[in-house]
Amino acid sequence: MIQSAITVSLVKEAEGGPFVYWHDLPGACAKAAELGFDAVEIFAPNPDAVDDDELKALLEKHSLKVAAVGTGGGWVIHKLMLTSADPEIRAKAREFIRGIIDWGAVFGAPAIIGSMQGRFEGDVSKEQALEWLAEALEDLGAHAAALGVPLFYEPLNRYETNLINRTEDGVRLLEGLTTDNVKLLSDVFHMNIEEANIADALRSGGKHVGHVHFVDSNRRATGMGHMDHAPIADALREIGYEGYVSAEAFPIPSSDEAARSTIEVCRKLFAS
Ligand code: LER
Ligand code: MN
């Protein structure tokens, strides 16, 4: 059964970014539960930013789960990336992600590698960067597997990375790994820019699709742009997707209105 999630950012440096709730985790959990979301997706600045016991209590109080945890703080705050020309930065990027994987695993939540993948630039060739990325996914994917959670890899649009922009290329990358614990994060905002047809791309992602960022064409909440989400929902059902559709959207016109618009679309498309 496809479940709903809503994003909460606790990262000051990411202000202005596409997250529905900001800074107040207890407040966001209360709202998410009130509106009927199944889970929250948390973007934290580091693995120690949230007290585990407090989060456990919040989740229990509101009957919520953690759908996923972001690692982008490593890029936004520390400028780390897995494909930097500098081996020390690459090592620190892996260490940062490992810390977030460990933290997320306490809550059964997979970590997301999006902006931390970086890009090829300067003396680093695309081939070299993709090799470093694959090595990191292999290592971190196995680490996550040992903790009983998958790891999510997110293709981004061309303005955010020059490594992998499309589902087809993401699938090729994952199929080249020995671990099968790394799954695709399909963000329909990026897909709307890069794919010929979002529903067909999801079908081609098939069993590799592990998480979905669910948003509208303008990166506002679903229902606030011109994307047709019905064929997307059909494609997810067709591939037997059983993960979350998680609202990674701008809090426009407000967090609560973005959340409400998301849950209305989810109810319409995914009600069992
Ligand atoms: C960035 O554009 C994005 O979609 C995030 O999920 C990446 O971590
Ligand atoms: Mn995303």
Q: Cα of 115 to ligand 1 centre, how many Å?
A: 6
Q: Give the per-residue pLDDT at 272.
A: 63
Query: From start to end of 188-259, where are the E strands?
Result: 209-213, 244-247
Ligand 1, residue 187: give the atom nearest the CA: 4
Q: How far apart are CA 177 and CA 131, in angstroms?
A: 11
Q: How far apart are CA 47 and CA 134, in angstroms?
A: 23
Residue 4, strand partner residues? 245
Mean pLDDT of 152-173: 98
Please name the residues in contact with 156: beta carbons below 8 A apart, sequence gap of 6 or more.
114, 115, 117, 164, 165, 187, 190
Q: Give the per-residue pLDDT at 59.
A: 98
Q: How far apart are CA 142 and CA 24, in angstroms?
A: 33
First vs last C-alpha separation in the chain:
8
160 lines ligand 1 (CB under 6 A): yes
Output the pTM of the full model: 0.98
Q: Contacts from 15-21 at CB under 8 Å and sequence distance 24+? A: 18/189, 18/215, 18/219, 18/248, 18/249, 18/250, 19/43, 19/248, 19/249, 19/251, 20/221, 20/247, 20/248, 20/249, 20/251, 20/255, 20/258, 20/259, 20/262, 21/251, 21/255, 21/259
Number of other residues whose CB lies within 10 A of the CB of residue 61: 12
For the CA of 245, the nearest ligand: 2
**Active-site residue, from 41, 154, 194, 195:** 154
Q: Cα of 213 to ligand 2 centre, how many Å?
A: 5
Mean pLDDT of 81-92: 98
- Nearest alpha carbon, ligand 1 atom 8: 114
Q: How far apart are CA 12 and CA 55, in angstroms?
A: 19
- Nearest alpha carbon, ligand 1 atom 5: 114
Which residue shows structure tokens 């919040």?
58
Number of other residues whose CB lies within 10 A of the CB of residue 80: 25
Q: Give the per-residue pLDDT at 25.
A: 98
Q: Cα of 248 to ligand 2 centre, how many Å?
A: 6
| Residue range 29-75, pLDDT digits in tens | 999 999 999 999 999 999 999 999 999 999 999 999 999 999 999 99
Among residues 245, 239, 174, 230, the alpha carbon closest in space to that of 201 is found at: 239
Q: Give the per-residue pLDDT at 271.
A: 83
114 lines ligand 1 (CB under 6 A): yes
Instruction: Tell me how far CA of residue 65 lies from CA of 1, 33, 50, 106, in angstroms.
Output: 15, 10, 15, 11
Instruction: For ligand 2, an ion, list residues with CB under 5 A.
Output: 187, 213, 248
Q: How far apart are CA 212 and CA 208, in angstroms?
A: 11
For the CA of 43, the nearest ligand: 1
Element (H, E) at 22: strand 21-22
Q: Give the per-residue pLDDT at 49.
A: 98
Cα dihedral across residues 94, 97, 99, 101: positive or negative: negative
Mean pLDDT of the chain: 98
Active-site residue, 15 included? no
| Residue range 115-128, pLDDT digits in tens | 999 999 999 999 99
Question: What are the φ/ψ torsions at residue 49 (nearest 5 degrees)?
Answer: -70, -30
- Nearest alpha carbon, ligand 1 atom 3: 114
Q: How far apart are CA 108 and CA 214, in angstroms?
A: 21
Mean pLDDT of 190-208: 98
110 lines ligand 1 (CB under 6 A): no
40 touches 6 (CB < 8 A): yes
pLDDT at 4 > cutoff 80: yes
Q: Cα of 13 to ligand 2 centre, how many Å?
A: 17
Percentage of the chain surpassing pLDDT 70? 100
Q: Cα of 251 to ligand 2 centre, how many Å?
A: 15
72 lines ligand 1 (CB under 6 A): yes
Active-site residue, 154 included? yes
195 lines ligand 1 (CB under 6 A): no
